[in-house]
Chain A
């Protein structure tokens, strides 16, 4: 039998005005198990708390009920009070007689009667309480960042600067990501490489950062603070430690059929190549599909010419297993495949390019050395049409395209138009747009500059058709403002294509048990309040993997994710939620229903030896990982035998409350 103390708070007149607190305290004295009951003006005050402490000691109370304001207000306070008097914090129950009683009722008799019932319910629940101890789990002080674009780099730098080790796993041969492919950035028009490459170098040289390039996450197990990842480092057939990045091999390579991924496949590269001049690691990689040595067994020119002896045709994929405390998803995006939009003649003419391809054409290190020339005949174009929203804002039942706004296209289109007009005033630029969406600091000013200062021809409407006519592209579109159909004979057409999550995102999401939306963007734990966390604890989101965003937003989110990671890694151990689910092994059927409704993947099954009156032998039993369980209780209801229960809100606790209320 519990020895319960009841403490009725007046809350000044907040409670006492409509609840006869003395009558409540008196009535509760008659409840079974209540050995002490009193009232006081302000229970949460120092004097009030002292009174509770003293009563606990004096009457050897095993639990207390405080009738006061909402537990959301002072439950933590009174739990601390109880702890300081030697009680378990979970032996405290609050009867909410202010927000849910005195403040809503005017009649004192009514208020008092209800307060007594609420207090009785709290006492009834407390009778079934048991001391709870929150478990702890250790934290591995290392973070894994998946993706080496600006999002991953920024998160890694911030985490590493706080003194924690970070591994960046990048699937391509170099870090840098999409930002490395950009020519200029809006709205400042500074060169993308100029601001990115120093960060890449910083990451490479950071003693706490370990870049694992040309590698992908193979599998993941464990939970927050205790992940174990297996990383597959693909064979690049170059000894990374020996290669100096001199590039002799890339010059000697006789194969010239590989398509240069970095330049959006606009030009060819050798079978052995370094993606771009500032690549990190600055190490070559061999494309085995193109390499003559792998295809014919001959050649080997690169090997003969490598003074460092770095070429290793025998190299194999390598599996790296490491432990991590936190994981950051920064897998970024790719432009959608424009070939589905044949009305824009993307498949018919090389002069119809996507914006990212155009970005490479405009870039000084790109396939045209920054010369604005048409891919088909290398002639200088005089009239360019940009079509916005290609593949964005489509209905979901449309086979092609995405339902969302890709967010960055309006701005990069304004940038492209401006850059062209700046460098080549002779070139006419027409932009077909549905809405110019430019919310962001200095964004609308930037767009207006394109219109006003650079005289870019913005046409409100969409292009219906692009047809190749001789060496021209006949663009037919609508001008909604002028109520006419326009026809433009353009030399080049740029498609501002939608962006979509990297194709690896879906399988990664499954591996991490991180939830994703129908578009394969990672879902945040709470759309407003936890925007950089994934629902499973210890998984964080950075950059476009979570949703379309531009560079400043990406960097901001990367920093936010890093702050969350640091907050986690700086703890030596994690205190788990004490109110977690728990299996009664004697009666668990092992039927796997609870696992299906657990939003966190906290439930696993193991074969255990059970000795109970009903069963002796080995049986499949549900096990709750207390470090992962958040205590929602979904499992408890799905369990037909009642083997799964929730500590702090057990079946018998809640039923006791029901009984007391209905008494």
Chain B
């Protein structure tokens, strides 16, 4: 990124295939706006999100990472999001403990019917990350151009 260009955050959103990815689709068909710097990666279930992916995103220059999955109790695979919930709680807490800003990571449950919630969540998340500023603590300098 050249110096004269204004910084905009890079957001990676991992969405489970069954609820949140469909929720994102619904936000789209409802023409609900959210910033273009949110990029979605489809995973089968929130429990597929390996903490390594989160760290990888930060390493490569992401400023925020959000995981969206089915609401607890609604998991397509019945229990996946419960595991994801524990895993991410422990991971986020560890990152917080290591001094990474709270707010760079988030988990939100978005159902296939919640297009508006998806858009609102993304708007809010981008706002939070913009306020937090660039991810300097977890980035790999070599990945910053």
Contact = CB atoms under 8 A, between A and B. Distances in A.
A50 B31 CA distance: 31
A100 B25 contact: yes
Among B22, B28, B51, B62: residue with most chain A CB under 10 A: B28
Given A649-B43, A659-B56, A634 B25 contact: no
A98 B119 CA distance: 15
A468 interface: no
A480 to B, nearest CB: 35
Nearest to B80: A632
A655 interface: yes
B48, B49, B83 interface centre (most CB from chain A within 10 Å): B48
A525 B78 contact: yes
Nearest to B50: A637
Contacts of A633: 43-45, 47-48, 80
A119 B12 CA distance: 15
Given A525-B78, A599-B79, A655-B53, A104 B34 contact: yes
Interface in A612-663: 630-634, 636-638, 646, 649, 651, 654-655, 657-659, 661-663
Given A654-B53, A655-B53, A655-B56, A662 B143 contact: yes
Contact of A71 (B26, B42, B56, B77): B42
Interface string A594-613: 00010100000000000000
B71 interface: no
A416 interface: no
Most interface-central of B34, B76, B83 (chain A CB within 10 A): B83
Contact of A661 (B12, B24, B25, B83): B12
A114 interface: yes
A104 B31 contact: yes
A636 B48 contact: yes
A99 B10 contact: no
B48 A646 contact: yes
Contacts of B12: 658, 661-662
Given A634-B80, A651-B52, A663 B24 contact: no
Contact of A104 (B32, B60, B77): B32
Given A111-B36, A649-B48, A655-B53, A99 B78 contact: no
Nearest to A529: B76
A110 interface: yes
A579 B44 contact: yes
Contact of B43 (A106, A597, A654, A661): A654
Nearest to A651: B50
A430 to B, nearest CB: 41
Contacts of B39: 114, 117-118, 121, 661
B118 to A, nearest CB: 10
Q: Could you say which of A96, A100, A631 has the most chain B C-beta atoms within 10 Å of its C-beta? A: A100
B110 interface: no
Interface string B12-35: 100000000110111111011110
A515 to B, nearest CB: 7
Contacts of B116: none
A100 B33 contact: no
Contacts of A105: 33, 36
A70 B47 contact: no
A72 B25 contact: yes
A132 B77 CA distance: 22
Interface residues of A, number: 47
B87 interface: yes
Contact of B47 (A96, A579, A632, A657): A632
B10 A662 contact: yes
A502 interface: no
Contacts of A103: 28-29, 31
Given A646-B48, A662-B143, A100 B28 contact: yes
Interface residues of B, number: 44
B51 to A, nearest CB: 8
A535 interface: yes
A58 B27 CA distance: 38
A113 interface: yes
A96 B78 contact: no
B28 A636 contact: no
B22 to A, nearest CB: 6
A465 to B, nearest CB: 40
Specify the main secondary structure of chain B where it touches its partner: mixed
B53 A70 contact: no
A594 B56 CA distance: 23
B133 to A, nearest CB: 17
Contacts of B79: 597, 599, 634
Contacts of B10: 661-662
B141 interface: no
B28 A113 contact: no
Contacts of A114: 36-37, 39
A636 B50 contact: yes
A632 B44 contact: yes
Interface in B56-93: 56-57, 60-62, 76-80, 83, 87
A484 B11 CA distance: 66
B94 interface: no
B33 A634 contact: no
Contacts of B32: 104
A96 B40 contact: yes
A634 B60 CA distance: 25
Interface in A343-364: none
Contacts of A661: 10, 12, 39, 41, 57, 62
Contacts of A72: 21-22, 25
A304 to B, nearest CB: 59
Nearest to B115: A99
Contacts of A631: 44
Nearest to B63: A662
A332 B37 CA distance: 54
Most buried by B among A111, A599, A646: A599
A654 B80 contact: no
Contacts of A655: 52-53, 56
A100 B40 contact: yes
A118 B39 CA distance: 7
A100 B31 CA distance: 10
Contacts of B119: 104
A101 B32 CA distance: 11
Contacts of B76: 526, 632
Q: What are the 7 closest A-B residue pairs judged by CB atoms, nearest first?
A: A99-B28, A633-B48, A662-B60, A632-B77, A634-B47, A103-B28, A99-B25
23 contacts: A70-B25, A71-B42, A72-B22, A100-B40, A103-B31, A104-B32, A104-B119, A110-B36, A113-B36, A114-B36, A523-B78, A597-B79, A599-B78, A631-B44, A632-B45, A632-B76, A633-B45, A633-B47, A633-B48, A633-B80, A637-B49, A651-B52, A658-B60
Interface of B: 10, 12, 21-22, 24-29, 31-34, 36-37, 39-45, 47-53, 56-57, 60-62, 76-80, 83, 87, 119, 143
Given A654-B43, A654-B48, 11 more contacts: A103-B29, A104-B28, A104-B32, A104-B33, A631-B44, A633-B45, A637-B49, A637-B87, A646-B44, A659-B60, A661-B41
